[in-house]
Amino acid sequence: MAFDIRKIFVILAVAILFTLFSFALFEAFYPNIEWNDYCEDKFYQSINGSGECEAYGGKWTNYDVRVPVEKQSIENGYCDINYYCNEDYDEARDQRYYYGFIFLSILGAIAIVLGINLPLTNPINEWIGTGFMLGGLFNIFLGTAMYYQDLSRYMKPIVLFLELALVIFLTYKKLGEEKERKKKKKKFFFF
């Protein structure tokens, strides 16, 4: 069998377009979160002390520096004016990444199942099915990458192990099908 470059292009095109479609669909349901939606770019004059900082809605943080006794009446620290809105922004962003992980993993699993079960009556179906499987794997990998930093230390190896097992399963499944088809063709030509 000769190498067919069209097969590679079709597989990559289906995989990449399916992945882009999945991200576009995710963006349609869960739009990107902007920092400006949670915090405002405000410019304040010099803020002196925790009382003034809290009046502006910020959080005062003391420096970890020893201050001589005669200067202890002066507050030693800084005001993080965006502390609370940053917390809200980070929480919303983490939730969006979690939803992305789940959403892309589900779409990836659907694509893999579709790719495996696509009827092989036409050789082009095999190319398209392989493209869907690759696109499904891209979805799962990219969804995991989105949420990886927020996974617990025990969930990280579990998720990666499951993804590795999926890749190994798909490899055996596709190579096994290919060997079976080659055996059937040889039997057909010899008899």
Domain ranges of the chain: 5-39+84-190, 42-81
Tell me which of 24 and 79 has the higher pLDDT. 24
Confidence at residue 48, expressed as pLDDT on a 0 to 100 scale: 74
If pLDDT is split at 50, 70 and 90, which confidence band does 116 have? confident
Question: Does the pLDDT value for residue 188 go beyond 60?
Answer: no
Helix ranges restricted to H, 69-154: 83-117, 123-147
In this prediction the pTM is 0.74
Query: How confident is the model at residue 68, as a pLDDT?
Result: 58
Distances (CA, A) of 45 to 31, 42, 56, 81, 150: 35, 10, 11, 12, 36
**Does pLDDT of 191 surpass 50?**
no
Is the confidence at residue 25, as pLDDT, over 90? yes
Phi, psi angles (nearest 5°) of residue 60: -85, 135
pLDDT at 140 over 80: yes
Mean pLDDT of 162-175: 84
**Closest Cα partner for 115 from 134, 101, 102?**
134
